[in-house]
Amino acid sequence: MTAAYYNLSPEVAGGLGERTVMDSSVHPPRVQRLHYEMEGWLGDELLESFPCFIVTARVKDALIGLGASGCTFDSVEVSKSPTFEELYPDRQLPPFFWLKVHGRAGADDLGLSEDHRLVASKRVLDLLKALDLANCDISEYPVAV
């Protein structure tokens, strides 16, 4: 019996900020330093801005506790855009971490598909759903048998 895997298209709550350092001469761009600038945030604890993903400290700790394969974590600078400040003047952001995905899609708990989409195992998906993943599009990832 093979494990089930899922494509995840997380909430995009902003974009790469001006202090992001990356090599855009390759595809996908290779990011050395990540600055995520929030434009609006619906509350999901897994966010995306191609080619990067960020997670709250709660998700990071849960993934580490699960022993999830295919990922590591790094620091990320998160800032609020003027639009965010105008829309949510009193909204505090939780601590976020850069989710660096290096696993194989359909084999590790977290991996990237050939088209650079995030692929998660069922156990990681279940963990994320138990936290906050309300605005993430989820579809089955076909695993070759």
pTM for the model stands at 0.92
Residue 61 CB neighbours (<10 A): 13
Average pLDDT, the chain: 93
**Burial letters 91-118, b for 16+ CB under 10 A, else e:** eeeeebbbbebebebbebbbbbeeeebb
- pLDDT at 142 (0 to 100): 86
pLDDT in tens, 128-143: 999 988 999 999 998 7
pLDDT in tens, 1-39: 456 999 999 999 999 999 999 998 988 889 999 999 999
> What value does the mean pLDDT take over residues 86-112?
95
Tokens for 40, please give them. 């609006």
